[in-house]
Amino acid sequence: MQRYRIPAEKTRTEIMVVNSRFIATAAPVFSVEEAREFIHAIRQEFSDASHHVPAFLVGFGQSVTAHCSDDGEPSGTAGRPALAVLQGSGLGDIAVVVTRYFGGTRLGTGGLVRAYTAAVKAVLEILPLAEKVPTHTVMLVIPYSLYEQVKLIIQEFKGKVLDEDFGGDITISIQFQVEQFESFNARMIELTRGKIKAEIVDTNPETIMPI
């Protein structure tokens, strides 16, 4: 299980290059189908634009699916530069579409490469990020006398309390990043002299958490 950064939400910015508008829109996508739907939505939103240049990365690392298109711009001047920025960003599960409104002045192949590169970099600079991390959801049953101590320990190991049931004892459901869980459980065993430990009830290798 690996962790990596992804876009937290859809984000857009715009740059001007010699009277041409370049509108860069980025969003999280978790499948090729989602990426294609996002690209189609941008085409529909800006249906009168000259070009819609897409690039996306679905997945991360060794298990990534990458795609780009020049969408009518000269070969190699638009899609590849956009994809190169994404590949160098350290992000996964991301799609970007750069929409161009032609301003009447041709930019040349070098100018197009620089413009599409700059547009993608501009949207990445303002993109809010989340992280895809492996987590355990665990259940813990404790007496009322330990409640305040246990809540502090949960905070120490960055646990997220999902639910609390106050019955004869207190049952707490907590989400931990995988690497934090063993240390938390060791602290609980130490605190209760081995009488209480948390039990894993679910594991999610791809939990999305804001950064």
> Residue 146: pLDDT band by 50, 70, 90 thresholds?
very high
Same domain, 27 and 76: yes
Same domain, 145 and 105: no
Final residue belonging to a domain, choices 84, 110, 127? 127
By residue range, what is the domain housing residue 162? 133-210
> Tens digits of per-residue pLDDT, 112-141?
999 999 999 999 999 999 998 899 999 999
Q: For 193, left (φ over 0), alpha (ψ -120 to 50), or beta?
A: left
Same domain, 147 and 202: yes
Final residue belonging to a domain, choices 64, 96, 127? 127
> Tens digits of per-residue pLDDT, 174-185?
999 999 999 999
Q: What average pLDDT does the chain have?
A: 94
Final residue belonging to a domain, choices 89, 104, 127? 127
pLDDT at 87: 96
pLDDT at 61: 84
Q: How many domains does the chain have?
A: 2
120: number of Cβ within 10 Å: 25
CA distance 101 to 97: 13
Same domain, 143 and 83: no
